[in-house]
Structure 1
Amino acid sequence: MTDTSEADNERNREIARNEEDKQITGSIRVSTWAVAVVVIVGGILFTLGWLALR
């Protein structure tokens, strides 16, 4: 391979690593939001159930 092809391949690998990092970060962010929503909805339902039983 030529130096240019090797440089292009290394650049493509670096781009792929960056994209993978972005996807992981995005997945973590979505998971965090999902857990927060479940906790809030669960708290509301628990409170409503507790009030209904009083």
Structure 2
Amino acid sequence: MMDTGNANKARNRQIAQNEEAKQVAGSARVSVWAIAMAVVVGGILFTLGWLSLR
């Protein structure tokens, strides 16, 4: 009985670690997209501003 409880705890720990890794990867992916979109929007605004000054 004790071995089963320990096995379940180890399994749950592994599942939690896997879920944490998925969340970190997902957060990094979202951050990369957010930065890329900010650069694109900034470039468009810069271009529009530059063109309006000419």
Alignment TM class, shorter chain as reference: over 0.9
Instruction: Give the superposition deviation at 1:18.
Output: 0.2
Q: Which residues of 2 match residues 2-41 of structure 1 at below 5 A?
A: 2-41=2-41
| Identical columns (%) | 67
1:21 aligned partner, one-letter code: A
Q: Runs of 5+ in structure 1 lacking a partner?
A: none
Q: Distance in 1 between the 2:5 and 2:32 partners?
A: 41
* Residue-pair matches, total: 54
Moved over 6 A (4+): none
Q: Distance in 2 between the 1:16 and 1:7 partners?
A: 14
Q: Distance in 1 between the 2:2 and 2:49 partners?
A: 70
With the length of structure 1 as denominator, give the TM-score of the two structures: 0.98
Instruction: Give the superposition deviation at 1:12.
Output: 0.1
Q: Distance in 2 between the 1:11 and 1:53 partners?
A: 63
Q: Runs of 5+ in structure 2 lacking a partner?
A: none
